[in-house]
Amino acid sequence: MQTLILPADAQGIATACEWLTLGQPVAIPTETVYGLAADARNGEAVARIYAAKGRPSFNPLIVHVPGLAEAERYVHLGDQARLLAEAFWPGPLTMILPLRDDSGIASITTAGLRTLGVRIPSHPAALAILRAFDGPLAAPSANPSGRISATSAAHVADEVTGLGGRIPAVVDAGACSVGVESTIIGWSEAGEPALLRPGGLPAEAIEAVLGCALLRPELNPEAPTSPGQLSSHYAPAVPVRLDAETALPGETYLAFGPGALTLSASRDLTEAAANLFDLLRRADELGRPIAVAPIPEEGLGVAINDRLRRAAAPRP
Ligand code: TXA
Ligand code: MG
């Protein structure tokens, strides 16, 4: 199969919708990373996402919708979820919410769970595709399972490190502005909000709107966890060493501050997040072990460090 690169114009979007209607997965841009989308109500279409990614089937997928009214067809929003939706949607926030009995979402989408991860992306092309398709799109990041997430159509279409040859099409809208996946929030049995995955929306911003601290599952074993939080993830082919003040002989150095390969020359965490996956890919292509500079553990730095720790974790 040849992977078509479609422009993000009316014709490209119409072609993408034709594939989606046929039950074929299509990669689409979002402000966080490219997603591999399929109709969340069509179990076979969603199965093709898992097959193209080589993803373990116990891992549930996020569903994308164009607006709050559409979200409410699939999930029940509590008061806190509604506050967060008003504050941060469209944008890089995913909320895990109780699935409605009449949702029509295929069980493979949620991997059999009675909850659903939902998000309204802010990328204009993603919203245009969602409106044109007129249905919920399940979309995990558009990379082979366990590999570096894709922040451009070229990453997606790469035949070696991406999904090139495994999917019919990718809609090309250039580089993603946020560059790391959405922040995921869920609620405990007792109704307490929990941070399930740090991401493109800093946890502090969520806490400011809720007026309370989020549970951190890694600090609190009672809190709910996200089944997708496997420790080795986002992995380049070469080894990765973190918190490196300088490179050792033979290593490629990813700087934070001035440097040849830098996440941000001005030490800006937003710029570093947007550059992260592209730089990891470029460093990986050089074939030498990668040493990464220390990144401050604050704001978007929390999501960047989370992805870097997974990239550096022992491989399964
Ligand atoms: O920014 C993003 O979120 C991107 C773009 C494409 O929207 N999507 C993305 O999806 O990162 P994915 O599938 O790579 O990550 C989704 C995470 C997984 O770790 C999964 O386990 C968790 O969300 N998740 C999804 N549904 C869940 C549920 N019902 N309960 C708990 N965790 C869930
Ligand atoms: Mg992913």
Q: Is the dihedral of CA 42, 43, 44, 50 positive or negative?
A: positive
Distance 62 CA to ligand 1 centre (A): 5
Res 234 pLDDT > 80: no
Please tell me whether 310 is known to bind a ligand: no
Question: What is the reported pLDDT for 189?
Answer: 85
Tell me what ipTM this predicted complex has: 0.98
pTM for this model (two decimals)? 0.89
Please tell me whether 225 is known to bind a ligand: no
268-303: burial string, b at 16+ Cβ within 10 Å, e else: ebebbbbbbbbbbbebbeeeebbbbbebeeeebbbb
Report the atom number in ligand 1 closest to the C-alpha of 36.
Answer: 6
Distance 117 CA to ligand 2 centre (A): 13
Supply the CATH number for residue 284's domain.
3.40.50.11030
Atom 20, ligand 1: residue with shortest CA distance = 228
- Residue 129 located in a structural domain: yes
- Residue 187 located in a structural domain: no
Average pLDDT in the chain? 93
Res 99 pLDDT > 60: yes
Please tell me whether 161 is known to bind a ligand: no
Ligand nearest to the CA of 182: 1
Atom 13, ligand 1: residue with shortest CA distance = 140
Domain boundary (172, 205, 221) is at: 172
Max avg pLDDT among 75-89, 233-247, 296-310: 75-89
Query: pLDDT tens digit string along 151-193?
Result: 999 999 999 899 999 999 999 999 999 999 999 999 988 899 9
- Residue 216 located in a structural domain: no
CA atoms within 13 A on the CB side of 169: 21
3-state secondary structure 132-164: HHCCCEECCECCCCCCCCCCCHHHHHCCCCCCC
Question: What is the reported pLDDT for 133?
Answer: 98
Res 205 pLDDT > 70: yes
Supply the CATH number for residue 36's domain.
3.90.870.10
Outline where DSSP puts E strands in the chain.
Answer: 4-7, 26-28, 35-39, 62-64, 93-98, 115-119, 137-138, 169-172, 183-187, 193-197, 240-241, 252-254, 290-292
Residue 246, both tokens: 């300088």
Residue 264: band (very low, low, confident or very high) from pLDDT cuts 50, 70, 90: very high
Domain total for the chain?
2
Ligand 1 cavity residues, CB under 6 Å: 30, 32-33, 35, 59-62, 94, 96, 110, 113, 115-117, 119, 139-141, 181-182, 184, 226-229
Please tell me whether 232 is known to bind a ligand: no
Report the atom number in ligand 1 closest to the C-alpha of 64.
Answer: 7
Q: Which residue has the tokens 């570093």?
A: 272
Question: What is the reported pLDDT for 257?
Answer: 97
